[in-house]
Amino acid sequence: MVRTRIAPSPTGYPHIGTIYQVLFDYVYAKQHNGKFIMRLEDTDQARFVPGSEDVIYKSLEWFGLNPEESPKIGGPYKPYRQSERLPIYQKYAKELIEKKHAYYCFCTKERLDEMRKEQQAKKMNPMYDKHCRNLGQKEVNKNLENKIPFVIRMAVPENQTIILNDLIVGEVKFESKTIDDQVIIKADGYPTYHLAVVVDDHLMEITHIFRGREWLPSTPKHVLLYQFFEWKIPEHGHLPLILNSDGKGKLSKRFNHASVDYYHHLGYLPEAILNYLANLVWFHEGGKEIYDLNEFIKLFDIKKIGSQGARFDLQKLDWVNGIYIRNMKQETLNEKIMDFYKDKNLPKDIVLKTIPLIQERIKKLSDYLPLCEFFFKAPEKYEVDLANKKDFFKQVHQELEKVTDWKTGLIGESLINLAKKLEIKNSQFFMDMRVVITGKKISPPLNESMEILEKEECLRRLTID
């Protein structure tokens, strides 16, 4: 039974990279009739941000990537919050100490800082000097009795080649001598990520670990821990990094488009974001680029995941999002727009009428109002100076008054006839009309818009002062 997981930390608003990872966890699990679960990695008390846990659930729900087990809904492997599993980690850390695969370290922060400083001065790699690794049992006991603060470190073997067969990266080798004696239990008794992740993934019977490439360098530590415990190592798949659009570094919070929130507020569709994210690093043999989640579950082949980091391209996301909008049922788009502008109280019937006019003109929901505001209130200013065109509009007014059946076709007919009569080029004629009606040089089709606005309102807008 395939089991995948997302293990976020409650440290703030979800990052788009988290969703990217969840996408592959979720899809892989679904594809193999497995389960996708969530575990909260809240072992860093210093970085804890209240409320983040809820926001994570909301985000996952928005994308439709709900876990089948989580801290909120529970499950057979509970608890799912690491802060509630402390005794478990303690137990396993003790086990490691007994097996001599870990040891107490009483070094002070000051000593470690100094040591690192010296190492750097000598251009050496900053690594723990294993000072406490060979402490005698007596001394250890004495320190423990005297309540000297300690951490527990893993005892990395001297000369061992650690081989990882990554589902995405392939075979990667590490030499154990380049690996630090990592802290696994902190002075506050909490485990570090490295211990907690290994223990929990094993206990929760996780079979496949998908995560960002930034984790690759710490994976040998995890492999070592699995070996210490004599546990089966789950499959690993290190996903290509998503880079900032300028290519400088991984997608970071410096850029607002790293946050899920950003897309929500701009009216991107979650299904389009997911499609874009999948397409960013994964290639469909048939060259298909547009596929929804269910289709992706059918098509996905892990072997086709790329190996380079990919820059996040907002323009392409816009393109994908535009396609999803164009393919949407009018009623659905109407609902989405109403929901997006729910605090504006737009009249739903009018919005529905405007949908056919704007469906192929907007790329995201937030494009709607800038394009359509004139339907709901008369323009307060014009993008073109109309001061010397009063007479012209008066003539149009007279002409349009005669139109009794206020329908697109008849409005257009009347307008074109007038243009001909006045010997004004259509382009000029309609541009002036467009500006007086909508206030802007760019708008949905004019005749259709005028029908929706209704005769009385249009005539009113033709009178300017």
409 lies in the site for RNA, by CB under 7 A = no
For residues 65-94, which are near RNA according to CB under 7 A?
A: none
Q: Nearest 5°: phi and psi at 428?
A: -65, -45
In angstroms, what CA-CA distances link 154 with 93, 136, 150? 9, 17, 13
What does the per-residue mask of binding to RNA show for 278-307, with x meaning CB under 7 A? -xxx-x---x-x--------------x-xx
Please state, in angstroms and rounded to a whole number, the distance separating the CA atoms of residues 199 and 429. 74
Look up residue 32 and give its amino acid.
Answer: H
Of 8, 20, 35, 6, the C-alpha closest to 275 is: 20
Phi/psi region, residue 378 (left: phi>0; alpha: psi -120 to 50; beta: rest), is beta
**348 or 370, CB closer to RNA?**
370
Q: Which of 443, 451, 453, 462 binds RNA (CB under 7 A)?
A: 443
Q: Which of 67-75, 171-179, 264-272, 381-389 is the region at the interface with RNA (rule: CB under 7 A)?
A: 171-179
Please state, in angstroms and rounded to a whole number, the distance separating the CA atoms of residues 16 and 388. 52
In angstroms, what CA-CA distances link 257 with 202, 243, 250, 254, 279? 34, 11, 12, 9, 18
217 lies in the site for RNA, by CB under 7 A = yes
126 lies in the site for RNA, by CB under 7 A = yes
In the chain the first and final C-alpha atoms are separated, in Å, by: 74
Least gap, CB of 135 to RNA (angstroms): 15
125 lies in the site for RNA, by CB under 7 A = yes
Q: Which of 4, 5, 6, 7 binds RNA (CB under 7 A)?
A: 7
For residues 30-69, which are near RNA according to CB under 7 A?
A: 41, 43-44, 46-47
275 lies in the site for RNA, by CB under 7 A = no
Active site residue 402: no
336 lies in the site for RNA, by CB under 7 A = no
Please state, in angstroms and rounded to a whole number, the distance separating the CA atoms of residues 307 and 70. 31
Tokens encoding 263 = 């897309």
Of 460, 424, 431, the C-alpha closest to 446 is: 431
Q: Which of 248, 253, 298, 390 binds RNA (CB under 7 A)?
A: 248
Question: Which of the residues 253, 288, 298, 344 is marked catalytic?
Answer: 253
Q: Which of 444, 451, 461, 462 binds RNA (CB under 7 A)?
A: 444
Least gap, CB of 61 to RNA (angstroms): 21
**2 or 280, CB closer to RNA?**
280
**43 or 70, CB closer to RNA?**
43
Active site residues: 253
